[in-house]
Amino acid sequence: MYPTLGRVPTHELFVLLGVVAAGVVFALEARRRGQTDERLAFVILGAVVGGAVFMRLGTWLQHVDLRDNASLAEQWLYGNRSILGGLVGAWLGVHVAKRAVGYRVRTGDLFAPAVALGMAVGRIGCLLTESPGTPTSGGWGITLDAAAAARTGAPAGVGLHPSFVYEIAFHLVAFVLLWCWLRHRSLPPGESFVWYVGAYGVFRFLVEFVRGNDVAWEGLTRPQLFLMATIPLVLLRIVVQVRRGAYRHVLHPAPREQVPT
C-alpha cells in the first residue's frame, strides 16, 4: 500500500498537483503567445487522456509470449505506472485531438515548460512512495527504515541513490531554461519541446543505471531499451535542423510579443 496524505494517496496527489501546475503554465504561455483558440481545450484534453491511458498501460507488454502478460484489466487496476508511456500517450493524444478538431498550429512551445514543471511536481510523489534507487556509498543517499523498505521493496539501513531527486532537479532546471531563456529565442515553432524531450531521454537513459529497475537484457532496463529505439530519432531530427540552419539565431533574443489585453 502506498502512503497517504489524509485520505488521498500520496502518489496520486502529486500527479494531480503536477497536472494543475502544468495547466497553469500552459495557459500563461498560450496567453503570452496569443494562442487563445477555443480548440486548444480539446488539445489539452487529448494530452491528458492519452497520457493517463498510456501511463497505466505502458508497462503491459513485458513478455514476448502475450499469455505471460497481465490482462488489460489487471494492468489498468494494478500495473506499474510509466512516465515514458505517459509522455508517448500525451504526444499521441495531442496529435489525434488536433487532427479531430482541425487545429494546425504548433503547440510544442506551450507544452515544453508546462510538462517540465508538471514532471518535477509529479516526481515528488514517486520520491515519497517508491524505491529511491540502487545502493550508493555517497553521503547523499537515502536510508530507509524497515517499514519503508518493506513497502517499496528496497533494502533497509543502506544509503540509496535518490534517483527521483536527480530527476526532479533535471526537470526544474529544464523548466527554468525553457521559461526564462529559451522561449525568448529564435527557434522554429515547436522546437523547444523537441529539445526538452531529447535532453530528458538522454538523462533518463543515464539515471536508469541508478534507478534500480529490473534488468531486461544485457544489463539494460526496459525503459533504456525503449529509449534506445526512440531517442536517436529525436536527436537525428535535431541534427537535421542544425544542418538546415534552423538554430543559427538561437543565441539572439526574439522580439518580445505583446501580451493580449
Per residue in 50-93, pLDDT (tens digit) is 888 877 765 555 555 555 565 555 555 555 667 888 888 888 99
Residue 252 included in any domain:
no
Residue 127 included in any domain:
yes
Q: How confident is the model at residue 2, as a pLDDT?
A: 46
Residue 207 included in any domain:
yes
State the DSSP code for 142: E
Cβ atoms of 223 and 84 within 8 Å: the answer is yes
Provide the angle, in degrees to the nearest 10, between the axes of the packed helices 10-32 and 40-57.
150
d(CA 200, CA 222): 16
Q: Grid coordinates standing for 66?
A: 502475450
**Whether residue 223 has pLDDT greater than 80:** yes
* Residue 244 pLDDT level (bands cut at 50, 70, 90): confident
Residue 45 included in any domain:
no
Number of domains in the chain: 1
| Buried residues in 43-61 as b, exposed as e (16+ CB within 10 A) | bbebbbebbbbbbbbbbbe
Mean pLDDT of 28-32: 91
C-alpha dihedral sign at 152, 154, 158, 163: negative
Residue 143 included in any domain:
yes
Tell me the residue range of the domain where 205 lies. Answer: 8-35+105-243
